[in-house]
Structure 1
């Protein structure tokens, strides 16, 4: 992986689905994020964590994918947790749009993995 490459990966840690975002995640990468999130909980594990600690940038297409996943998780009785720490550009996306209150957020991946 080069320093500029954006990556979306899915793993399972401590019985929790973890979707990790790395780099600048924008409309080009949002479909991969949406697919990864669609393949998690509803009907599977009770919680999904989106690790955004290595995300340098995210745009509105990423926010849209996260909000869609949040609705699907709630409908299935599952939790979606965003893990930071969020970098400034990502934090601004949530603050400017007012979307931060729509999500459960944790300061670290470790905290997000804790029920």
Structure 2
């Protein structure tokens, strides 16, 4: 875990690993960002990941790549990953220009993101409305 004043923070909220990116992230931060997302993915005490970009004011294409790789890794692991905003204009523009904003489908807020994760997890659990039990 990194302290709350750092540009990259990993925390736990219930069964959700919350990765927060703050300020400006670029090539220098790409390894730490990727490690944070991998740490969230491999955390066995959690069942989903929330990527909070609401405090991120600048990012370059390395963050775009890191985000897309994390989404793919989470999908392969059948683990929900939800991106939360609101996105700063520069961040929204980065994702919009590259056509990835629709893929990310960011939640409006951290709370909305956590609610979406709860819905996703409930929908995919046998006996909780998402799948029929045999």
Tell me the TM-score normalized by structure 2. 0.77
Q: Encode CA deviations 1:51-107: one digit per residue, 9 max, x unaligned.
A: 111100111100101111100000000111111000000000010000112224100
Aligned residues, how many?
111
Using a 3 Å threshold, how does the CA distance of structure 1 residues 6 and 30 change in structure 2: closer, same or farther?
farther
Please give the secondary structure, in 2, of the residue aligned with 1:89.
Answer: helix
Aligned equivalent of 1:53: 54
Whole-angstrom distance in 2 between the partners of 1:41 and 1:113 = 16
Structure 1 residues 42 and 102: CA distance shift in structure 2, 3 A: farther
Structure 1's consecutive aligned runs of 4 or more residues displaced over 4 angstroms after TM superposition are none
Task: Give the SS at the match of 1:29.
Answer: helix
CA contact (8 A) 1:43 1:76 kept: no
Give structure 1 stretches of 5+ with no counterpart.
none
Structure ID, larger Rg:
2
Structure 1 12/43 Cα, relative in aligned 2: closer, same or farther at 3 Å?
Answer: closer
Q: 1-side partners of 2:40 and 2:105: how far apart?
A: 17
- Residue ranges of structure 2 left out of the alignment (5+ in a row): 119-134
Q: Report the secondary structure of 1:67's partner residue.
A: helix
Q: Does 1:107 align with 2:118?
A: no
Q: Which one has the bigger helix percentage? A: 2
Higher relative contact order (CA 8 A, sep 6+): 1
TM-superposed CA distance for 1:6, in Å, is: 6.2
Contact 2:10 2:19 in 1 (8 A): yes
Gap change, CA 1:19 and 1:43, over 3 Å in 2: closer
Structure 1 residues 88 and 37 mapped into 2: Cα distance closer, same or farther (>3 Å)? same
Q: CA RMSD in A?
A: 1.6
TM-score normalised according to structure 1 size: 0.89
